[in-house]
Structure 1
Amino acid sequence: MLGEVNLPPRPSQGRRGESDGRFGASALDKPAQKRLSSMCTTLPPRRWPSSGESIRGCRHAIYQEETLMTKAELVEKIAARGNLTKAGAERALNAFLSAVEEALCKDSKVTLTGFGTFAVENRKERQGRNPRTGETLTIPACKMVRFRAGKTLKDALN
């Protein structure tokens, strides 16, 4: 099981390495450095913990981890809430995704009332710049998928 480490106070603004609120394991005492470095298995988290808050198991002891739901986790949730097997939930999710893809390929809108709308938009040809050489180049026109959240989803988030 991963240990719990209390963080030192947030560093003051000033030197270059501290101005963005980051500090490494060197700001901790030696035993804490060893515990953190041996337990780190995550990507750098994204948020500075509030005072008194501690984090578990990451030497990047500054921010809290981003949450990301994978397709496998979504399948598990669908199976649990829909009283389905995981295989059945995965077939349902794949059928949904292919139906949305098929509709968008035909330049159609997909509206899920309350959730949101998937639509295809055309991007115009535009000028860009190669960051290495500074050379100007033309970025070709393309189609983009846009998602506009519905009122129910917006209300659930706020």
Structure 2
Amino acid sequence: MGAIPITPAKQKEVGFMRYINRDILAKMIYRNKKIPKTLAEEIVKYIFDEFQKTLVEDGEIDIAKFGKFYCKDRSPRKGVNPNTGEEIFIGKRLTPKFKASSALTNAINHK
């Protein structure tokens, strides 16, 4: 089942937002599923806590038709302190990454 493009008129009708944060997500769940607001907030907190825990444990999160969150090794390198211009050493570290699924990419491009 493909995504349906949202027209500007529909965006205005449903109160389309350009971003979603935890609070907005909890409010959307609360309003649409008619559950207590505190329960919706707990659900959102639980989901993101589990995402973080999975990534910290060097895991990966794969959400069908949305995308994959994973961690990637970054090699140590030299950098420059933008305030002082001083050269600094940045050690090896893991960086969180996201790769969109083809379904999400196609939906964004209205295919």
Asked whether the two chains share a fold, i.e. TM above 0.5, the reply is: yes
Q: How well do the aligned residues superpose, as a CA RMSD in angstroms?
A: 1.8
1:111 corresponding residue in structure 2: 62
Cα distance per residue 1:89-126 (max 9 Å; x no partner): 11111111111111111101110111111101111111
Q: Which has the higher helix share?
A: 2
- Identify unmatched segments of 5+ residues in structure 2: 1-16
Q: Give unpaired runs (5+ residues) of structure 1.
A: 1-65
Is 1:85 matched with 2:63?
no
Distance in 1, matches of 2:40 and 2:47, equals: 11
Q: How do residues 1-158 of structure 1 correspond to structure 2 at under 5 angstroms?
A: 67-158=18-109
Q: What's 1:23 paired with?
A: none
Q: Provide closer, same or farther for how the CA distance between residues 79 and 122 of structure 1 changes in structure 2, counting only shifts above 3 A.
A: same
TM-score (norm 2): 0.73
2:49 alignment partner, SS class: helix
Query: How far did 1:69 drift?
Result: 2.6
User: How far apart, in 2, do the equivalents of 1:132 and 1:108 lie?
Assistant: 36
Whole-Å Cα distance in 2 between the matches of residues 80 and 149 of structure 1?
Answer: 28
Distance across 2 between alignment mates of 1:85 and 1:152:
32
User: In structure 2, what residue type is equivalent to 1:71?
Assistant: R
Alpha-carbon distance in structure 2 between the residues aligned to 1:94 and 1:141 = 30
Structure of larger gyration radius: 1
Percent identity between matched residues is 26
Determine which structure has greater relative contact order: mean sequence separation of CA pairs < 8 Å that are 6+ residues apart, divided by chain length: 2
1:151 offset after TM fit, Å?
Answer: 2.1
- Aligned-partner Cα distance in 1 for 2:99–2:106: 13
TM-score (norm 1): 0.53
